[in-house]
Amino acid sequence: MGFGVRQFELTLMHRMRDLNPERVEDALAEMRATRAELRAAHSLWTRMSYSRSAPKGVSALRMALGPPTYRGAKPAGSLTCELARWHLPSWPGLEFEALLGPGGDLWNQWFVRPVPLRRLSFAALVPWRCVVGDVAAAFPDATQLEGSAPHHWSVDFTHDGAPHRARFIYGLLQRVDRL
């Protein structure tokens, strides 16, 4: 089994099953992929990440996804970080972003909206169509929090006087819960 864009998407979906198993099942059907293929992609990615000879960090992303469709720089305090982004077919309008620190170390990887962030309404918070930045821009009181597992993230905000928590995996909205 080679490792390309399809396998990378399946690897991301493996983690997304933590919070949104129904959406992952729908995506597997749309891709004509099986649960066995999803597990195999995740297993291969995991083995590669622990292999001494496999590429690491952004080199692993380039191996799977090809050259980035966008490269740029982003200030982070007194540092300037490198950005690399890729389009993924399962998430049109969004890009998968790698943030590289000085020396090329992979600091973060998640989905972003490459165009200016939108001020979304509460009704527009649709799983797999919004990113952390969308929610932060739409709700002025939004507070970002680390999630409960690797690549999980949360944003707490208030809508109509009620507290809510948007839950993300790889920066991609999975669900919104009323607290």
The pLDDT of residue 102 is 83
DSSP assigned state of 119: -
Question: Which fold does the domain 56-115 belong to in CATH?
Answer: Beta-lactamase Inhibitory Protein; Chain:B, domain 1 (3.30.1450)
Domain spans, the chain: 1-54, 56-115, 122-178
Distance of alpha carbon 101 from alpha carbon 132, whole angstroms: 20
* Residue-wise pLDDT tens digits, 66-116: 999 999 998 888 989 999 999 999 999 999 999 998 888 899 999 999 887
The pLDDT of residue 1 is 55
Residue 61 confidence class, pLDDT cut points 50, 70, 90: very high
The pLDDT of residue 50 is 86
Cβ atoms of 171 and 153 closer than 8 Å: yes
Q: What is the mean pLDDT of residues 52-66?
A: 89
- Residue 39 has phi, psi (to 5 degrees) of -65, -40
Cβ atoms of 119 and 36 closer than 8 Å: no
158 vs 2 pLDDT, higher one: 158
Cβ atoms of 10 and 37 closer than 8 Å: yes
Burial class (CB in 10 A: 0-12, 13-18, 19+), 115: exposed
| pLDDT for residue 130 is more than 60 | yes
What Cα–Cα distance (Å) separates residue 107 from each residue in 19, 67, 76, 82?
23, 19, 11, 10
SS3 31: helix
- Note every long-range contact of 148-154, with CB atoms under 8 Å and residues 24 or more positions apart, other chains counting: 149/15, 149/18, 150/15, 151/15, 151/109, 151/110, 152/18, 152/19, 153/110
| pLDDT for residue 173 is more than 60 | yes
pTM of the model: 0.91
The pLDDT of residue 94 is 95
- Across all residues in the chain, what is the average pLDDT? 92
Cβ atoms of 20 and 127 closer than 8 Å: yes
